[in-house]
Chain A
């Protein structure tokens, strides 16, 4: 029996729509992936282009402000560039990618799509260390070199990606200057770095550890205004299987909220242990 109830989070408005465009399909099998994405995981199938467009239009009806494409690896979607163009006609877009499918022609096309829109296109490229020795054991052999190549291509095309760094390698005094130097060497003059805490779900639970029993939230734990920093406070995640509170919980049992966005814009209980990470670590999924 649970003695204390989890906190209830209100839902003031829809600001952010996350789209799991490629579901759990990924070209990497990162050891810290919190949703166990990989080439063989079809637990969330790829969204059809029509599903993506319909979700975007539905969210616009609720006054949504910004869009995020994630996966899996979004660039595995066969119609990804058409979908990027579709969204950028309507609002700002961030794409969370591992960068491996960004070659020179694609970087150039992305740059043109960004320039043609009045709204921002932010590319977030994941990297988990400033050397291959740090990154490759997490993201896969040879990935460091490929990621840096993608970052360099983006810089050459006039796109400054945000490097998203999961703190699986503990940060030291040397960490920040090392990443800044790495970006400078790749031709990036405007360094953009985002550090994220690991989430103890999926593969990460096996790589390091899962949540301990005490790591959960109880009524009264939330800070004033925390609703505006939590992804689930003003955002929702849509996958081919329905609507979820946030990008983290799409494999969590019982997390699915509804078929349509209209039925998911309501308060939720923060009863999952991953909710503890977002609160305790101040995790902000947004760009």
Chain B
């Protein structure tokens, strides 16, 4: 199989993350952890904006570290200067907070960064250790499809991966990490989000390390990423972002836009 990247050795250790949500502090911590692990490639599965403070701070970090970046649904909306995030909530309270977060991000993202977001690719495909690895924001068939563990039956995932020609699928979009190996041997990893905690009362966020050092295999490990969440909370307050958002950073529990959570995931949270 011809490979355009033959001019340098294939990667041995890869860090994949998504859902930055303007959290430049957890992003910096994720990049530092990747460097410490000796990662030779990094991938960000999209949604750079939303929720956190000072959107323009994440872009230099992503670019200087050479992260392969993908466009999420939020990036598509911001990049194309759309009127709203197209989150599609039906609960008026969720719509209220989604509106605040989107208006803030849109008005605080520079034109140059919006153009950069608009030009991002919407997926990646790699052949690593002989396996077809596909990366998508939500799912392979739709950028804003939520792959929650409790609403993604095995037969459905088999169908999705077979259609995409994937042995391993990596996604984000939901903000809660999980991984499953299917009976066919294909695997799905939702890398979670680095922008906010996973609604489990912990303050760290999650990224994923892929270890390719064993020939023929791709092993994964979830990486808890701690960062200066108190400093982020201060910054959010300085930007007059809602106290409900700040509370999530300081407690690890989601407080808004909970409508998207299916019953099982919702029951694990406090609100």
Contacts and interface: CB of A to CB of B under 8 A. Distances in A.
Interface of A: 12-13, 60, 62-66, 90-92, 114, 118-122, 158-160, 171, 176, 189-190, 192-196, 228-229, 284, 287
Nearest to A61: B155
A63 B88 contact: no
B91 A194 contact: yes
A163 to B, nearest CB: 10
Contacts of B158: 63
Contacts of A92: 150-151, 153, 262
Interface of B: 88, 90-93, 141-142, 148-153, 155-156, 158-160, 163, 258-259, 262-267, 269-271
Contacts of B92: 171, 176, 195
20 contacts: A63-B156, A65-B152, A90-B153, A92-B150, A92-B153, A114-B263, A119-B153, A119-B264, A120-B265, A122-B263, A160-B263, A160-B267, A176-B92, A189-B270, A190-B258, A190-B269, A192-B258, A194-B259, A195-B92, A284-B90
Contacts of A160: 263, 266-267
B150 A176 contact: no
Nearest to A67: B153
A91 B93 CA distance: 29
A176 B93 contact: yes
A195 B90 contact: yes
User: Quick one: which of A13, A114, A120 has the most chain B CB within 10 A?
Assistant: A120
B90 A119 contact: no
Given A13-B141, A114-B263, A229-B88, 13 more contacts: A91-B155, A91-B156, A118-B150, A120-B262, A122-B262, A158-B267, A160-B267, A171-B92, A189-B270, A190-B266, A190-B267, A192-B259, A195-B90
Contacts of A119: 150-151, 153, 264
A34 to B, nearest CB: 18
Given A114-B263, A193-B91, A120 B141 contact: no
A158 B152 CA distance: 22
Nearest to B149: A118
Contacts of A194: 90-91, 259
A122 B141 CA distance: 25
A60 B155 contact: yes
Contact of A64 (B141, B156, B259, B262): B156
B136 to A, nearest CB: 15
A114 B263 CA distance: 9
Contacts of A287: 262
B154 to A, nearest CB: 9
A284 B264 CA distance: 21
A38 to B, nearest CB: 27
A12 B141 CA distance: 9
Given A118-B150, A119-B153, A176-B92, A63 B160 contact: yes
B155 A228 contact: no
A66 B155 contact: no
A174 to B, nearest CB: 12
User: Quick one: which of B148, B264, B270 has the most chain A CB within 10 A?
Assistant: B264
B258 A120 contact: no
Q: Which 8 A/B pairs are nearest by Cβ-Cβ distance?
A: A63-B159, A91-B153, A120-B262, A120-B150, A120-B263, A92-B151, A120-B264, A65-B156
